[in-house]
Chain A
Amino acid sequence: MSSPAEPRRPRWLRLEGPFVLGLPAILFLMLLFVGPVLRLMLMSVEGGSLAAYEKALTDGLYLRVFLDTFEIAAIVTVACALLGYPVAYVLTTLSRGWAALGFACIMIPMLTSVLVRTYAWMVLLGRSGIINRTLMDWGLTDRPLALMYNLPSVIVAMAHVLLPMFILPVYSVMVRVDRELLRAADGLGASGWQTFTRVYLPLTWPGVLAGATLVFIISLGFYITPALLGGGRIVMIANVIENQVQALLDWRFASALSVVLLVATLAVQAASNRVQAPRG
């Protein structure tokens, strides 16, 4: 750091140089992100009344929506883990060319918009969608089945949308696992299953936790997929917030619901950080 060739400048200026470069973004985000979100949160207690929270947390209707949202997020997270963990592992074993192909299979859907991917599921699952047409053509059913506008369709589409977000963090942990450790476990007489549960799974757990947290948190705030595939029957908290603002103009209640959603999101993130920390 203190090489003699450094320019002669006051020490504080040299140290603060990088900080100054961060200032424009800090100001920008304060004005357009932190400020507006704080202002929104304050709206929930406008006039010093907690009535909006009382409604959000005691009205059975909204409590139900919160529980449904958590349930959907949990199922989607588990589905992503079951589908994604083995895939991430296989990716680490492939040769360079095959791995690149595998990554293309993950990156193309990941970068395609959520809207397009949700639309694709509507094309598949709709009343006159591909699956119903095929079933009817083969004479397996007379009338179209109700495959859309229900819980399974929302869960399937959300898992499809979020799966790449689970695979990537898990993969990035898996590639760093030292293969010698697995060979050592094998040499010490561990069975394949023991090597997996006692060595490989614990070593890759931080990746699973990171991926699962990401998927769970994004699921909690999901809007597009339930709005289109839920058909008004499957309602998540983001859909209620949108409706309160756009249709009912009830900003105070929307604000209270937003605070509850935000607190839940940050709590999940904090809990995940705490679990991860001691493992170092």
Chain B
Amino acid sequence: MRPWLRRLLRGYALAVFALLLLPLLIIVPISFSSARYLQFPPPGWSLQWYRRYLDDPTWIEATFVSLRVASGATVLALVLGTAMAYSVVRGRYRGRVLVERLGSGPMIVPHIIIAIAIYGLFARLHLTSSEAGLILAHAVLAIPFVLAVMSAALRTVDPALEQAAMSLGVGRVGAIVRVTLPLVRPGLVSAAVLAFLSSFDEVVVALFLSGTTKTLPKQMFDNIQNEIDPTVAAVSVLQIALVLVALLIVSRFGQKTVPR
């Protein structure tokens, strides 16, 4: 390739990276602004929006609801999704393609449809406005991520290792617990992080199910619709910080996603 074309392409890529990151970066100075409304550049610096977030019981309660719901949904999706991935990867039964489709279905069906479908069911079961209901619904949405990551991870484990363990008399469950799962631990970390973030960021299902138990994204959504004040900017910066922590965890302990 000609050098000028290579440089042009790299410049183009640099511009696209800037386009991807700049809107997020712009929130940071806004969140530290001393102005009483959105203003750029900020006339001065202050922590008032962070203080407002921390002092408002509505925001804090919503944060704890989201943390509990995301933790519950992560555990549920990780257990169900990993077992399902094992079933699909190691199984030789007929219909496992169908099982795989079922497991990745919640990723393809629009979330608005899943949201009102579950809402219709939970309204009759009195599971709306409850953390249990949100955990169940978010686990449905998180299973495809766990299934995808864990299937890829399990395909890298030689079945002969499990068979060797089973021949030593530990049984299939023993082989999975003692041999397979330790080998796919990076995959488990990545899957857990993805599942957690997918629940912690989820809006559409929460819009219908949360009722009086507002999750953090639901509280943000309501706040943005009523008034754009920089409290949401402060919460957004905290969420971006959470993403950075998640990425650090994945790059340190997670599955290597970049095939190099």
Q: Which residues of A contact B (CB under 8 A)?
A: 3, 5-7, 15-26, 28-30, 32-37, 39-40, 43, 83-84, 86-87, 89-91, 93, 96, 99-100, 102-109, 111-117, 119-124, 126, 128-130, 133-134, 160, 163-164, 172, 175, 192, 217, 220-221, 223-224, 228, 238, 241-242, 245-246, 251, 254, 258, 261-262, 265-266, 269
Contacts and interface: CB of A to CB of B under 8 A. Distances in A.
Interface stretch (B54-62, B181-189, B236-244): B236-244
A25 B20 contact: no
A117 B207 CA distance: 18
B217 A115 contact: yes
Contacts of A123: 23, 26-27, 30, 38, 228, 233
B16 A87 contact: yes
Given A87-B16, A121-B23, 4 more contacts: A43-B120, A86-B16, A119-B232, A238-B112
B62 to A, nearest CB: 13
B38 A224 contact: no
Interface pairs A-B: 5 shortest CB-CB: A221-B110, A22-B87, A113-B201, A18-B91, A36-B117
A133 B38 CA distance: 10
A111 B197 contact: yes
A238 B88 contact: no
Interface in B4-27: 5-6, 9-10, 12-13, 16-17, 19-21, 23-24, 26-27
A40 B119 CA distance: 10
A123 B23 CA distance: 9
A56 to B, nearest CB: 14
A111 B86 CA distance: 26
A89 B24 contact: no
Given A103-B258, A116-B240, A238 B81 contact: no
Contacts of B139: 28, 32
B112 A105 contact: no
Interface string B139-154: 1100100000000000
Contact of A160 (B6, B20, B166, B260): B20
B67 interface: no
A169 B240 CA distance: 24
B215 to A, nearest CB: 11
A160 B95 CA distance: 38
18 contacts: A3-B163, A5-B167, A6-B163, A18-B86, A22-B83, A25-B87, A28-B139, A87-B16, A89-B9, A90-B13, A91-B13, A120-B23, A122-B224, A175-B259, A221-B110, A241-B116, A265-B109, A266-B108
Contacts of B167: 3, 5-7
A227 to B, nearest CB: 8
Contacts of A119: 27, 220, 224, 228, 232-233, 236
B39 interface: yes
B136 A133 contact: no
Nearest to B193: A111
A223 B91 CA distance: 37
Given A7-B167, A108-B24, A24 B80 contact: yes
A112 B24 contact: yes
B203 interface: yes
B91 A22 contact: yes
A33 B105 contact: yes
Contacts of A122: 224, 228
Nearest to A261: B110
